[in-house]
Structure 1
Amino acid sequence: MAAHTHDHIDWAERIPALRRADELHAVTHAGIAARLVGRLGVQPVIVDAGSGAGGMSAAFAAELARRGGGTLVLVDAVPELLEVAEAAARAAIVRVNAERIARADLESPEAATRGEPPAAQQQVELEQARAELAGSAVAATVGRAHPGPEAVSNAAFAGQVSIESIRADVASVDLAQLVQPADLVWAASMVHHLPDQQAGVDGLVTALKSGGTLALAEGSPPTYCLPWDLGVGEPGLERRLLAARDHSFGEMRAGMPGSVRMPYGWYTALVKAGLGQVGSFSCLVDLPAPPSQVVRNYVIEHITWLASDGDELLTQEDRDVLRRLLDPADPEYLGSREDIYVLGTQTVHFGSRR
């Protein structure tokens, strides 16, 4: 593996799958980022702990750019993930700046008389945005422990976003030792991969300013993609795959060195960490049939992952059915069906440091 992780998952190898999931959830990520960043003050510091492939990093970067700037700090133990997350965040800022230039151009008195083709004008605007970003306060200081005050002040002056990337294992060190005090610490589907989940939450809280918010995307219900009866094999295959996944997750946690059970929910975990105003909200992910190509790609990847995660717990019949469902040359190939879909939620638990 490229870096140490406690769950023994090769996350660098899973980057293509993570990016497909980010593509599917882009609208949901944008809504969550808008809701969380809207609670913050001017020029906030946001820490994305366990940034993954950068889906939420991009959403936060875009929201900061729209709201006048700030600092975004990406933290992950896997260098390959940090690289793609930073690239996603930078690309999001380019898009926001291009949109801003396009709006200003359309609102200018000269817009009606310029007569440039829309596509050509959009390309010019994109190049202008890229040039603007190349010399702006959008900075990547990979491996630096703290975003320096000069980076924050430059971002505030320019009204833009300063980006920092820090390679670190948050299970081994309190987040406050890695970053400056944050207005928002975000961690998505990361804490449950740490040996001691409560200690992980406690460590994230250390990085918050007084009044700062910790937000965790954890504990969402399962996502469903398939009809109950696929017409091949025993009905209920997806339910059996999800049950096998739960069993494998339990084994993964039990096999972690230093694993500690957390026999309560995320609300209690946040309260135990000393946070106030604890609550949660959920965003529906509802992409019904017939599927777009993005949905098809996600469903194939999702079922492939479920099948590999719990293969030893499935019957031979289920394994044979899965081979057919995931074979593009087979008449039963899932990617050729019109009745696959995505239905799930993204649940966010949050609390404020007193």
Structure 2
Amino acid sequence: MGAHSHDNIDWDAHLQRLRAADDFIAPDITQVIGRLLRPDDRSVIEIGAGAGGTAAIIAKTLAAHGDDGQLTVVDTAEQLLNAAGERAAADGVEVRTVRADAAADTLAEEIEKTGATPQADLVYAAFVVHHLPDQLAGLRRLARLVKPGGRLAVVEFGLQTRVLPADIGLGEPGLEARLLNASEQWFQKMRSEMDGAVRLPMGWSKAMTEAGLVEATSFSYLIDRPAPLDDTGRAAAIRQLAMLRRDADERLPAADVEVLDQLLDPDGEHYAGNRDDLHYLSANTVHVGTKPS
């Protein structure tokens, strides 16, 4: 969102994957939103639409608190906004979608000129800020969307997701650790090659304070699905392995790539989706700062 190109995307397949991911983590995100939304909060701006799973949870939570809630969902992709708007519809909650870029200094103005609320009690941005060239400037931009006394919540990765046993019986043990190391290398390369990239040499809570917020704090939530996984869990584990396949040719020994391809081949004898020892364990962190009154 804001830093991605949405050209040449198979939107039907992309939305299907996003919806499946939303459904898988819905219980965990419901708890996160329940913790963030205070009883008196009546307005939320969500930055980054996804397929609308989080927007639907926010709208449902707002509706449970009263019949005058407002939710504004912001993204650069019209297809994602349409999906989020449809999914987030809830009685008693006004849902607006705004096509705008979180990397643009005109973000607040773009939201306001649509008639949507220009500031909210809660501004929620999950896995967005690390895609912005200047992350601190991005936090300051998001902080301007927060009402005095309101809060900005930024979700970022905590611990890398793990789905495989340490020894899967193919190739050398420790495949997943090597895959995750390659993924981290990919991420750092992506950041370094981003146009206008600026380093953020500090922790997120410190960055929230630098962005003008107070009472900066963090909490983490665990996505813990032990083996054996159900069909939904196995699909999530396969999506994780498919993501790790990205750029694997450049960063891993050929033997590891061959094993990973066997795990991802639904017609092969070693297809990971047929294993009963897959699990899904991940931790993400929510960083929260308050706008001074």
TM > 0.5: yes
Pair 1:237 & 2:236 matched: no
1:272 paired with 2:210, answer yes
Q: 2:254 aligns with which of 316, 325, 336?
A: 316
Find the counterpart in structure 2 of residue 27 from structure 1: 27
Alignment match, 2:199? 261
CA shift, 1:15, in A, is 2.9
Provide Cα deviations, 1:249-308, integer angstroms capped at 9, x if missing partner. Answer: 111111111111111110111000111111011111110011010001111111011112
- Give the unaligned 5+ runs of structure 1: 94-132, 134-159
Alignment-derived partner of residue 351 in structure 1: 289
Q: Is residue 53 from structure 1 mapped to residue 38 from structure 2 by the alignment?
A: no
Q: Deviations over 1:75-95 (max 9, x none)?
A: 0011111112222212xx3xx
What is the CA-CA distance between 1:323 and the residue it aligns to? 1.5
Work out the CA distance in 1 between the residues paired with 2:106 and 2:290. 17
Note if 1:329 corresponds to 2:267.
yes
**Other-structure match for 1:116:** none
Q: Report the equivalent of 1:168.
A: 100
Q: Which of 147, 153, 176 is residue 215 of structure 1 equivalent to?
A: 153
Supply the AA of the counterpart residue of 2:139.
V
Do the aligned residues in 2 keep the contact of 1:174 with 1:204 (CA within 8 Å)?
Answer: no
Q: State the partner residue of 1:14.
A: 14
1:192 to 130, 151, 160: 130
Partner of 2:115: none
Tell me the distance in 1 between the aligned counterparts of 2:6 and 2:85: 21
- Partner Cα distance (1:5, 1:71) in 2: 22
- Partners of 1:7 and 1:194 within 8 A in 2: no
**1:86 aligned residue:** 85
Aligned equivalents of 2:106 and 2:291: distance in 1? 15
Secondary structure of the residue that 1:223 maps to in structure 2?
Answer: strand
Q: Which amino acid aligns with 1:15?
A: L
Is the CA contact 2:47–2:73 (under 8 Å) kept in the aligned structure 1? yes
Aligned-partner SS, 2:246: helix
Distance 1:342 1:306, change over 3 A: same
* Structure-2 residue corresponding to 1:36: 36
Higher-strand-fraction structure: 2
Q: CA deviation at 1:5?
A: 4.8
The offset of 1:309, in angstroms, is 4.0
Q: In the alignment, is the contact (CA less than 8 A) between 1:15 and 1:53 conserved in 2?
A: yes
CA positional deviation for 1:17: 2.5
C-alpha offsets along residues 101-157 of structure 1, whole Å, 9 cap, x if unaligned? xxxxxxxxxxxxxxxxxxxxxxxxxxxxxxxx6xxxxxxxxxxxxxxxxxxxxxxxx
CA contact (8 A) 1:7 1:253 kept: no
- Of Structure 1 and Structure 2, the greater helix share is in 1
| 1:9-52 C-alpha deviation (Å, 9 max, x unpaired) | 66756333222221111001100111111x2515x110001122
CA distance in 1, matches of 2:139, 2:157: 14
Q: After superposing the two structures, state which structure 1 stretch, 26-35 or 303-312, moved more.
A: 303-312
CA distance in 2, matches of 1:174, 1:273: 17
Question: What amino acid sits opposite 1:45 in the alignment?
Answer: S
Q: Which runs of 5+ in 2 are unaligned?
A: 113-117
Give the AA of the match of 2:3: H
Q: Tell me how large the CA RMSD over aligned residues is.
A: 1.7
Structure 1 residue 7: Cα displacement: 4.2
With 255-264 and 7-16 compared, the bigger mean Cα shift is at: 7-16
Deviations 1:155-203 (A, max 9, x none): xxxxx00000000111112543224221000000000001000000000
Asked whether the 8 Å contact 2:46–2:74 carries over to 1, the reply is yes
Residue matched to 1:298: 236
> How many equivalent pairs are there?
282
CA distance in 2, matches of 1:235, 1:14: 32
Q: State the Cα deviation string for residues 47-86 of structure 1 (Å, max 9, x = none).
A: 0011222221111011011111300000001111111222
